[in-house]
């Protein structure tokens, strides 16, 4: 605990004016912003461990005391506690901090507020991890207070306690001892804060439920359309409300939250899961929010060509993924060249992302991987946040000339010795992999070029409309094909890739630039992607 206390001192505390009140905000770190919303009866403090851990992982972690709690203002009337008031506070908070979009995390009442923030202002939310309280759409015919049954969260028994009405809250049994995750120091912190203002502010969220119901009628029937991960403990009373498990696991929640990508039920865990299992909850949040970079190799190559970038980007807080494309390495190698069209390969990648639960990626391509990356941005731009492509520029489909008829092979001369960036160990790795299947799979990409040309006719004339950075080496033979330099630098490429933001020509660098200059390439990629 002394170590945690010392680390907690690194958390900054500020007061921000927003929506007519002052909010106390705890924050730490720099990088992509994560906004944490606490529940009842709680404070920013419930996220203390996530703030510290995610700041160390490269995020800017922000946790306000919501209105009515802790050191934030507590308006006296319950009519000032509708979900519109609270979402308004958060929008103003983000504006004050200069944050356009956030990763959002909610718990208990904070989860309810998070659901509604995604409903009302989805443009401000990148993705959501919500805990404990599922999204229930507004029922136009029943006011929530009329349907609401009080839930008590002090018990580890998932069954609601039965208390004589005459006793009320006095009838709740005292727990035999503090749970291991809640220390005397934690209790003292909460006691000090709630002794200042009491529980009136928190209870006003409940008192305002019917008013919130009236004011949110404009959003009736809308779905929540941001990527979502939902986490709940199997001992959480909210999970054991009759019908809740069926609603979560049998399609009801997915119907209203169509971008729900993952549901996690933590075994042996109660309601206050972020405090009870802080490391596990942090891992769940991080694994969902960490940006994904998908690397596509060329010919004759493997995932291995990105080995340096995989390690560097993992250290930078990214989830780095590099498949062996079909026909290569340890991936399947269908025998027919007709199984290697651009549509096949892009289909593989879409399926890969779906299986990993990834909605959008930062995309990086080289050589044939660059060609595939261009076409992935053409066919499925909704799955790509931004693209860094290397060595092979985009050329639109020529409707009158088949690709093979226009294609001229480039032959790279054998170097007199291995270059400094390519070791005997690297050679052995490639030799081992290609000795298993040969080069047939890779060559089938070339054999399928005319078939790809036929199949991509529906995209004639379309531009590539994702943010793009293009990199090539000044010694790369592809850069010296007649007309290529003029096409790249005199507006031809920009015409077909209108969101092209940067072109880099690396001096003294050849074709395999990500291996020849791994650090420089990593810096170029990271410098571009961190803008988004």
Hey, which residues are catalytic here? Answer: 108, 206, 271
Sign of the dihedral defined by the CA atoms of residues 498, 504, 510, 512, in that order: negative
Identify any residues that bridge with 131 across adjacent strands, giving them in sequence order.
Answer: 107, 231
Task: Characterise 367 by phi-psi region: left (phi > 0), alpha (psi -120 to 50), beta (else).
Answer: left
Which token pair is 44? 């920013």
Question: How far apart are the C-alpha atoms of 128 and 112, rounded to whole Å?
Answer: 12
Q: Are 337 and 448 in contact (CB under 8 A)?
A: yes
Q: Are 307 and 279 in contact (CB under 8 A)?
A: no
Which token pair is 166? 């005459």
Which token pair is 351? 């399926």
String of DSSP letters for 361-377:
EEEEEETHHHHHHHHHH
Q: For residue 187, which phi and psi values (nearest 5 degrees)?
A: -60, -40
Q: Are strands 260-266 and 292-296 parallel, antiparallel or unpaired?
A: unpaired
Identify any residues that bridge with 471 across adjacent strands, giving them in sequence order.
Answer: 390, 504
Task: Give every strand in the sheet of 33-37, ordered side by side.
Answer: 12-18, 21-28, 60-64, 33-37, 102-107, 125-131, 228-233, 260-266
């Amino acid at each position: 605990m002394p170590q945690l206390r010392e680390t907690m001192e690194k958390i900054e505390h500020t007061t921000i004016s927003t929506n007519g009140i002052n909010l106390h905000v705890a924050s730490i770190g720099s990088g992509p912003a994560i906004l944490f919303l606490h529940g009842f009866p709680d404070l920013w403090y419930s996220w203390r461990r996530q703030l510290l851990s995610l700041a160390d992982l490269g995020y800017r972690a922000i946790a306000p005391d919501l209105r009515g709690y802790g050191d934030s203002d507590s308006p006296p009337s319950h009519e000032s506690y509708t979900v519109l008031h609270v979402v308004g506070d958060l929008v103003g908070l983000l504006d004050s901090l200069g944050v356009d979009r956030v990763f959002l995390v909610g718990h208990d009442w904070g989860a309810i507020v998070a659901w509604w923030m995604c409903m009302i202002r989805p443009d401000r939310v990148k993705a959501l991890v919500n805990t404990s309280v599922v999204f229930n759409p507004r029922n136009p015919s029943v006011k929530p207070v009329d349907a609401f049954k009080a839930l008590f969260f002090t018990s580890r028994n998932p069954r609601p306690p039965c208390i004589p009405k005459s006793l009320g809250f006095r009838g709740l049994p005292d727990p035999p001892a503090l749970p291991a995750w809640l220390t005397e120091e934690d209790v003292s912190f909460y006691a000090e804060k709630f002794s200042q203002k009491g529980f009136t502010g928190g209870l006003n969220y409940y008192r305002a439920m019917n008013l919130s119901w009236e004011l949110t009628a404009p959003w009736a029937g809308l779905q929540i359309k941001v990527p979502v991960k939902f986490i709940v403990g199997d001992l959480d009373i909210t999970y054991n409300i009759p019908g809740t498990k069926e609603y979560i696991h049998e399609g009801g929640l997915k119907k209203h939250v169509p971008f729900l990508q993952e549901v996690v039920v933590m075994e042996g865990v109660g309601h206050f899961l972020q405090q009870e299992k802080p490391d596990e909850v942090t891992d769940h949040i991080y694994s969902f929010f960490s940006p994904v970079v998908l690397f596509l190799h060329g010919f004759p190559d493997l995932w291995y060509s990105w080995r340096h970038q995989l390690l560097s980007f993992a250290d930078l807080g990214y989830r780095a993924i590099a498949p062996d494309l079909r026909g290569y390495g340890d991936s399947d190698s269908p025998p027919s060249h007709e199984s290697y069209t651009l549509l096949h390969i892009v289909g593989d990648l879409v399926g890969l992302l779906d299986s990993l639960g990834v909605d959008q990626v930062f995309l990086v391509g080289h050589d044939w991987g660059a060609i595939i990356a261009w076409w992935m941005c053409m066919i499925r731009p909704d799955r790509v946040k931004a693209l860094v492509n290397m060595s092979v520029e985009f050329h639109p489909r020529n409707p009158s000339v088949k690709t093979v008829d226009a294609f001229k092979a480039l032959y790279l001369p054998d170097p007199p010795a291995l270059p400094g960036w390519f070791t005997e160990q690297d050679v052995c790795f490639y030799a081992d992999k290609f000795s298993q299947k040969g080069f047939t799979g890779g060559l089938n990409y070339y054999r399928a070029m005319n078939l790809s040309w036929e199949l991509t006719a529906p995209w004639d004339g379309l531009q590539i409309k994702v943010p793009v950075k293009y990199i090539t080496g000044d010694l790369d033979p592809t850069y010296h094909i007649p007309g290529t330099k003029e096409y790249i630098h005199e507006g031809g490429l920009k015409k077909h890739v209108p969101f092209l933001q940067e072109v880099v020509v690396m001096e003294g660098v050849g074709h395999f630039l990500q291996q020849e200059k791994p650090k420089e390439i990593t810096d170029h990629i990271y410098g571009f992607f961190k803008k988004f």
